[in-house]
Structure 1
Amino acid sequence: LPFRLCCDRLEPMKRLQAYKFQLRPKAGQERLMRRFAGCCRFLWNKALALEKETYAADKKRLGYHALAGKLKDWKKEEDTSFLAEAHSQILQQALKDLDRAYKNFFAKRADFPRFKRKGVHDAFRYPQGFKLDEGNSRIFLPKIGYVRYRNSRKIEGTPKQVTVSLSAGRWFVSIQTEREVPESVHTSQSVVGIDMGIARFATFSDGASIRPLHSFRKHEKKLAKLQRKLAKQVKFSANWQKLRAKIQRLHRTIANVRNDFLHKTTTMISKNHALVVIEDLKVRHMSRSASGTLEVPGKNVRTKAGLNKSILDQGWFEFRRQLEYKLKWLGGKMVVIPPQYTSQTCSHCGCVDRANRPTQAKFKCTACGFEANADHNAALNILAAGHAVSVCGAGRAQAPALKQEPAYGAAR
């Protein structure tokens, strides 16, 4: 069925967009940035320890306002007086981040907040007080001064906040902007269903497919070799620091290659299709360890570990996140359906049977004899379920019942 997204009246909408650039700080500025990031990390850990202690004693949280009051006292104490050297706003933002992390945990959107380590996600954020000098490719950061950055693209919108972060020895600044843009109408009328997989990164309902990148797999042996060398070095020695920095750069390369692949893929899909239907895959559950416990040990642990590594290497959640906001910007739409039985249902006659999929790649219906690639057949079922949701207005497409319950670890 053809599908067209239309809009009778185009109203302006607010768009939040971040622009990330590499900073080029001087030696003194870099020392200040490391000090400020360390202050935020120390404050996060101290506030988290106080929150856990208070909750264990009184079964209640302090909250942001109570922690902000404690911050004033900590700045005056002799042991923590160094916090006064950092800008007050970045310390307040660290406490707000902790408060948000607790709220996400109680809302079951994230895990319990954890203590931060030095050199892992070092960052601090300015909600105001910064000045952007785009013409001279520099930005003013309070208590640091003007810092030059690699100006690779034009910034659109009004800057709202900036985040300074350290990644593999390099400093970056992320400038979040806000601007009003007219609501878009997608130029295409194409509708597509996408089945995500390991052997094929994405299989489309029109028969096309995208090969996986396997960014981590390509560098896995080199990374393991460097990690074995690191284990033999004296911890915190000069050679240990150099080798650790080399491993961080390799991790950054892996992440950059994967992110580049995902951006190019999602941009291509969002430009060519007005409606995209995908499965609501629970990546966290799918990549859960099968090791079990001492009393009840798991089965096929090594095989499951390899599967988990491949799933996480694909970046399915990031693919969905990028595709969703790019479709929204272009006037398209994403429909998410439940993933149950899409690979065991015949797209030709609707028969549902686990025997329909004799192998990982082959689909052969036991009722009508229809044969196709298993991923392509699943993509057709995903597209049909997406049409049902779009046309009928159902919240979620209903999946048919199986003849018998699938065993744990069986193919979808």
Structure 2
Amino acid sequence: MQRLQAYRYELRPDGRQKRQMRRFAGACRFVYNQALALQKQCFETGGKQPGYAGLCRLLTGWRHSADTAWLAEVPVHPLQQALKDVERAYANFFAGRAAFPRFRKKGRSDRFRYPDPKQIRLDQTNHRIFLPKLGWVHYRHSRDVLGAVKNVTVSRGDRPVARTGKWYVSLQTLREVAVPLPTGGAVGVDMGIARFATLSDGTFYAPLNSFRRHERALRKAQQALSRKQKFSHNWKKAKTRVQKVHSRIGNARRDFLHKTSTAISQNHAMVCIEDLRVRRMSRSAAGTADAPGREGQPAGRPYKSRSGLNKSILDQGWFEFRRQLDYKLAWNGGRLMVVPPQNTSRTCPRCGHVAVMFRRTTAGHKPGLSAWHVVLRKTPTSLGR
């Protein structure tokens, strides 16, 4: 079977290459915004929206225009990929999978993509990669790249909230692998705050709480930033410190999620997990102007405790953990089952009686285990659907 896999490394460019990458990312952002503005105008006026081929013809005109002649200095393939991003964003919007496309802002999600593998050369021995109009760029080699390179994406920063100024390269590869045979049996996973993941066999994983660990350092860095004059030299340095703390938080969380999901996927053939709506569970409890701190939250729960619960839920990374479990189980020949979460913590695993009590009283001496006997019993019904 064929496996698509991405490998991400930190780039180590020189000063000239950094300037070139900023120019390429800016040109792709300009083309994306121009195409999006045109599509938005056609959408509002009811006119026919140009497809990818029509946008490529417009791109040719922009590259030969006197006002935007600087686009000709940028490789054409990354610019065309920006047009593909516009087309994909509109397709997701009309399919109901995403909101209406928004314009890209400078400094947020700066990236560009090379789709032609013939223009890319990878030298893993000397830890460098050749990219069009950039030349050989060194990268931090942490593991070997397996398979044939299909495309390369160059991006700046870890996440939009953590722009540390570093550049990264992501290589998507395709290779043939043997059909995996699953090992282990079925297990249910219960997500929580006090315990990040509790398995139905009694195993549990303690939470990392990376945000909580760095909350004090982040607060001090943000307070120092608030005292600086905006856009001054000292303000930029203080902002970099805030971004480094955010980057440290994100890196620690991703490392924890990868290690936990790998351990579970390698030892079990089927994993059952609740279909938790994290966005609804972490909805703001601020309420309205007439009823502050009351609307949209459970009755009797104070606003402050609700806010702390939302922060703890978002600090766990439940959705990312579920996403990693999904593809890692598929790589190991296993399967991820998603079951409805209704009353899993209130149903007796023996008689099926639903008790309107808090979960702490129904779980007994092993929190979460009784709920997942119910979940595993629900699994055949889910398979039938």
Q: Same fold (TM over 0.5)?
A: yes
Inter-partner Cα distance in structure 1 for 2:47 and 2:198: 50
Report matched runs for 1:4-403 at 5 Å: 13-58=1-46, 61-128=49-116, 129-167=119-157, 168-188=164-184, 190-294=185-289, 299=294, 300-355=302-357, 357=358, 360-363=359-362, 371-389=364-382, 393-395=383-385
Ranges in structure 1 where 5+ consecutive residues have no aligned partner: 1-12, 365-370, 396-412
- Which SS does the other structure have where 2:177 is aligned? strand
Which letter maps to 2:369? H
Alpha-carbon deviations, 1:100-126, whole Å to 9, x = none?
A: 122112222222222222222111110
- Which SS does the other structure have where 1:362 is aligned? helix
In percent, how many aligned pairs have the same letter?
Answer: 53
Inter-partner Cα distance in structure 2 for 1:260 and 1:310: 18
Alpha-carbon deviations, 1:268-288, whole Å to 9, x = none?
A: 101111111111112222222
For the structure 1 residues 65 and 238, does the alpha-carbon distance in structure 2 shift closer, same or farther, using more than 3 Å as the test? Answer: same
Inter-partner Cα distance in structure 1 for 2:252 and 2:258: 10
For the structure 1 residues 178 and 349, does the alpha-carbon distance in structure 2 shift closer, same or farther, using more than 3 Å as the test? Answer: same
For the structure 1 residues 43 and 301, does the alpha-carbon distance in structure 2 shift closer, same or farther, using more than 3 Å as the test? Answer: farther
How many residues of Structure 1 are paired with residues of Structure 2 in the alignment?
370
Alpha-carbon deviations, 1:289-345, whole Å to 9, x = none?
A: 233444665514443332222111111111011111111111111111111111111
Root-mean-square deviation (Å):
1.8
Inter-partner Cα distance in structure 2 for 1:362 and 1:214: 25
- Which SS does the other structure have where 2:337 is aligned? strand
Inter-partner Cα distance in structure 2 for 1:56 and 1:222: 46
Ranges in structure 2 where 5+ consecutive residues have no aligned partner: 158-163, 295-301
- Which SS does the other structure have where 2:224 is aligned? helix
Shift of 1:373: 4.0
Inter-partner Cα distance in structure 1 for 2:266 and 2:168: 29
- Which SS does the other structure have where 1:285 is aligned? helix
Shift of 1:136: 2.0
Which letter maps to 1:187? T
Inter-partner Cα distance in structure 2 for 1:294 and 1:267: 46
Inter-partner Cα distance in structure 1 for 2:99 and 2:277: 15
Tell which deviates more after alignment, 61-70 or 122-131. Answer: 61-70
Which letter maps to 1:248? Q
Inter-partner Cα distance in structure 2 for 1:303 and 1:64: 49
For the structure 1 residues 63 and 223, does the alpha-carbon distance in structure 2 shift closer, same or farther, using more than 3 Å as the test? Answer: farther
8 Å CA contact 1:193–1:379 kept in 2: the answer is yes
Inter-partner Cα distance in structure 2 for 1:221 and 1:361: 31
Tell which deviates more after alignment, 68-77 or 159-168. Answer: 68-77
Inter-partner Cα distance in structure 2 for 1:169 and 1:109: 31
Which letter maps to 2:372? A
Which letter maps to 2:377? A
